[in-house]
């Protein structure tokens, strides 16, 4: 079997050995038989995440068929083997209980005398590993792409001593632990924010001033503005260029100005330019995201509304745009949006301007709206700071990974 190098330019003079020779098992599972309840669970692609193995995503499997199934063992490397967007994702299996892998997941079981399982996982996750899988191991059409077991088996990886593997893994773990602590902090802050929103809105929803005109959003708007979407290439605008917002620019987690398409200067209509403080809402998106809203930031100038992105211009004497944005993300209003959206495709739904105007929200006095928005905004600022810190840690991890895999731990 002719080997194919994974392509990591390591300077440690490490020998390269094929995955076939550093594993005692390299095989994909079989299609499971799902049941309502069982002590055996089937691992699917949703279980294999960048953050680790997610046991809660596994489904009960017929235990009487256990003898025909491929049972996962602690330390196995799990590798998603089909489907765009999921293929090539890997993690280490570390759950207690009986789990089998389905036909979309490959197990790589390391030879402990040669490699640490996490060393294989680290190499597969690396930029070189991902590029190699895509260029050498993926086969099939766009929608039916699969991982070639033969090409995977012949992939040669660098294999330093076990001590060196462990030193590199340990060095990266120190940064990963910091990442996990920040992620936990972000999750707690988001939970606190959600609780704050529900609490304050519950308090104001019964106030007398909230019942005027049925609480219609339209009665607090001056107008709704829509842009246009010319046929443009999927090229992001660079500094100094104009861009048209993509649907993905409007998200409940915040404004994403980088999600845009460059537009020629002669096609620019300045009436549709997005300004800081604009309240934006997506009129067309997936069922989960249609009606998503955000308040635009000053992170990028020269951006235009698209025909799928609406600007809600609130009456400043009656409503605070930030408060409206908060309300639009609550379960009750999201349910209204879902009930009033339409579309022939399950993957793309639309909500009309008229339906948006008929959304009902709780309306306390303007001063109370601003107070609520200020309180939530302070929590959002804390989340943004933590996210910024997380991005920095991820870049540190990536840089350290590249350094260690190309130079070795002794270069630290």
Do 18 and 154 reside in the same domain of the chain? yes
Do 199 and 237 reside in the same domain of the chain? no
Q: What is the pLDDT of residues 250-294, one digit of tens each?
A: 888 888 888 889 888 888 888 889 999 999 999 888 888 888 999
- Of residues 309 and 204, more confidence is placed in 309
Do 338 and 326 reside in the same domain of the chain? yes
Question: What pLDDT, on a 0 to 100 scale, did the predictor assign at position 207?
Answer: 54
- CA distance linking residue 275 with residue 313, whole number of Å: 12
Domain encompassing residue 331: 213-363
128: left (phi over 0), alpha (psi -120 to 50) or beta: alpha
Answer for the pair 59, 37: CB distance below 8 angstroms, yes or no. Answer: no
Do 99 and 187 reside in the same domain of the chain? no
Question: What pLDDT, on a 0 to 100 scale, did the predictor assign at position 407?
Answer: 84
Question: What pLDDT, on a 0 to 100 scale, did the predictor assign at position 228?
Answer: 83
Do 268 and 402 reside in the same domain of the chain? no
- CA distance linking residue 157 with residue 3, whole number of Å: 10
- CA distance linking residue 214 with residue 192, whole number of Å: 29
Q: What is the pLDDT of residues 121-158, one digit of tens each?
A: 999 999 999 999 999 998 876 567 899 999 999 999 99
**Do the strands 138-139 and 52-53 form a parallel or antiparallel pair, or are they unpaired?**
unpaired
Q: What is the pLDDT of residues 2-44, one digit of tens each?
A: 578 999 987 668 999 999 999 999 999 999 999 999 999 999 9
What is the domain count for the chain?
3
Do 196 and 270 reside in the same domain of the chain? no
Do 91 and 180 reside in the same domain of the chain? no
Average of per-residue pLDDT values in the chain: 89
Answer for the pair 245, 305: CB distance below 8 angstroms, yes or no. Answer: yes
Give, for 11, the enclosing helix (H) or strand (E): none
% of the chain surpassing 70 pLDDT? 93
Do 18 and 129 reside in the same domain of the chain? yes
Do 226 and 336 reside in the same domain of the chain? yes
Answer for the pair 243, 274: CB distance below 8 angstroms, yes or no. Answer: no
Two tokens, residue 107: 């197990």
């Amino acid at each position: 079997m002719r080997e194919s190098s994974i392509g990591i330019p390591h300077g440690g003079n490490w020998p390269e050995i094929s995955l076939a020779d550093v594993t005692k098992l390299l095989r994909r599972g079989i299609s499971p038989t799902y049941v309502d309840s069982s002590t055996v669970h089937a691992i699917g692609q949703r279980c294999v995440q960048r953050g680790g193995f997610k046991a809660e995503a596994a489904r009960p499997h017929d235990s009487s068929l256990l003898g025909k199934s491929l049972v996962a063992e602690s330390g196995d490397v799990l590798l998603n083997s089909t489907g765009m967007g999921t293929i090539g994702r890997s993690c280490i299996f570390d759950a207690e209980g009986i789990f089998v892998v389905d036909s979309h997941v490959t197990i790589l079981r390391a030879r402990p005398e040669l490699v640490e399982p996490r060393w294989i996982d680290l190499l597969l996750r690396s930029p070189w590993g991902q590029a190699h899988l895509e260029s050498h191991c993926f086969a099939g059409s766009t929608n039916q792409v699969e991982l070639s077991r033969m090409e995977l088996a012949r992939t040669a990886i660098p294999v330093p001593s076990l001590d060196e593997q462990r030193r590199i893994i340990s060095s990266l773990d120190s940064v990963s632990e910091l990442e996990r602590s920040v992620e936990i902090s972000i999750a707690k802050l988001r939970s606190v924010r959600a609780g704050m929103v529900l609490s304050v809105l519950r308090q104001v929803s019964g106030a007398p001033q909230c019942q005027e005109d049925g609480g219609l959003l339209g009665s607090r708007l001056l107008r709704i503005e829509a842009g246009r979407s010319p046929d443009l290439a999927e090229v992001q605008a660079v500094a100094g260029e104009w861009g048209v917002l993509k649907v993905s620019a409007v998200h409940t987690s915040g404004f994403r100005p980088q999600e845009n398409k460059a537009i020629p200067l002669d096609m620019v209509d300045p009436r549709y330019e997005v300004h800081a403080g604009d309240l934006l809402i997506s009129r067309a998106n997936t069922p989960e995201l249609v009606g998503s809203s955000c308040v635009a930031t000053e992170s990028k100038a020269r951006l235009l509304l698209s025909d799928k992105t609406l600007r809600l211009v609130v009456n400043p004497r009656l409503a605070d745009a930030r408060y409206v944005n908060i309300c639009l993300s609550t379960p009750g209003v999201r349910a209204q949006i879902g009930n009033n959206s339409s579309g022939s495709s399950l993957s793309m739904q639309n909500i009309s301007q008229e339906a948006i105007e008929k959304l009902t929200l709780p309306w306390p006095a303007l001063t109370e709206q601003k107070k609520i928005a200020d309180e939530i905004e302070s929590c959002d600022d804390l989340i943004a700071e933590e996210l910024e810190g997380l991005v920095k840690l991820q870049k540190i991890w990536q840089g350290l990974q590249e350094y260690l895999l190309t130079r070795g731990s002794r270069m630290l």
